[in-house]
Amino acid sequence: MVVLDVFIPEFISIASNQVLLRTTSRTLPIFRLLRSMSSLVAKIRRFQIIMENLKKRNCTKRDLMEKLSEQGFEMSERTLDRDIEELRREFDADILYSRNHRAYVLEQESGQADRLERILELNQVVQAMQSSLHLDAKFRDRIQFEAHTMKGTELLEDLMRFIREEREVDFDHLNYQTGAIKPYAVYPLLLKEYSQRWYLYAWVPELSDCRTFGLDRILHLKPGRDTFISDRYTDNFRMFEQVIGVNYSDHAAPVEVRLQCTQVQASYLESAPWHKSMKRLADVGEFAQFSLNVIPNYELTQKILSLSKQVEVLTPVWYREQIKEHLDDMTKLY
């Protein structure tokens, strides 16, 4: 009997409004593995169909069953009930049943719907990667993943546990710029993924302030002696909701940033918004205008500059001037 040692996605942990995909290693006979994978992929796809339709409007059981049937899922009401219950229990989906409307309602204000959508996307990527392992040699190069290694992901599970336990952690941190290694004792508050890297946001008692640490630079992680109450630092990590990426200023406030871009670029921005507040405002001739409410920071500036002449900052004026200064400095290099 052929046996493979693989990673089967089992459950998802959501902490501090950030998504963390967790896996567990199991050794399964190959026929059980493939059957398990096929069943899991089907379930994930059903979950996506249910969530996609509930995000658009309230749906009755009949509505959902018809949408599932259109996608090839013939199922009983009992199976639908189990799927909805699992979405509530395992993924914290805020799906309510309205007796007035005689339909299911998705409460989206909590942001759980968007987080769940991201979780389901991550699961599909994991399934695609697993499936690629079983392709014939002729077809193995027909699915290509971005060539990068996310260092530090081996720390995710331990850090997630310390966050849940509200346990201090000790580690050494490597500074890429200076090469110096410095010891830290911190209160872990939040894990955030951005631009193919994972970051730990933590309160540093020694500094009486918060700091962000790249997991790829954390060495010798271990639990500390103290515990803490994370609710005391809620305002600190909520700042991440107001920025793109991981850089922000405690003294800055969100502003409305208005952008104008080409119609082609507008399609890309609509399909992959930079921030949850990003929305399309109006079309002006061959251009489209967008707005987002954020604290302008390094990451936003990098996104704007990366699009070159395809995007223009309209307001605020001070930020428009800041972008212009960056462009002037760039032209001096050539």
Collect all residues with Cβ–Cβ distance below 8 Å to 308 and sequence separation of at least 6: none
**Amino acid present at 40:** L
Please state the three-class secondary structure of 74-111 as a single string: CCCHHHHHHHHHHHHHHHCCCEEEECCCCEEEECCCCC
pLDDT at 100: 83
Give the domain ranges of the chain.
3-142, 153-242, 255-331
Give the pLDDT score at 324: 95
Q: Report the CATH number of the 153-242 domain.
A: 2.30.30
| 143 vs 156: CA distance, rounded Å | 27
Amino acid of residue 282: A
Q: Are 203 and 228 contacting, i.e. CB atoms less than 8 angstroms apart?
A: yes
Query: Could you tell me the CA-to-CA distances from 210 to 207, 258, 272 in Å, in that order?
Result: 8, 30, 30
Predicted confidence (pLDDT) at residue 155 exceeds the cutoff of 70: yes
CB 160 within 8 A of CB 20: yes
- Alpha-carbon distance of 8 to 6, in angstroms, equals 6
CB 251 within 8 A of CB 242: no
The pLDDT score that the predictor gives to residue 17 is: 36
Q: Which residue has the tokens 């005689």?
A: 102
Q: Percentage of the chain surpassing pLDDT 90?
A: 42
Quick one: pLDDT at residue 38?
59
3-state secondary structure of 256: strand
- Determine the average pLDDT of the residues in 153-175: 93
**Could you give the percent of the chain with pLDDT greater than 70?**
79
Chain segment 10-62, per-residue pLDDT in tens? 333 333 333 333 333 333 444 344 445 556 667 878 888 888 888 888 889 89
At a CB cut-off of 8 Å and minimum separation 6, what does 46 contact? 68, 73, 75, 83
**Among residues 133, 108, 128, 104, which one has the least CA distance to residue 40?**
128
* Top mean-pLDDT range of 91-105, 117-131, 197-211: 197-211
pLDDT category, 111, cuts 50, 70, 90?
Answer: low
Q: What is the pTM of this model?
A: 0.66
> Please, what is the angle between helix 112-132 and helix 77-91, to 10°?
100
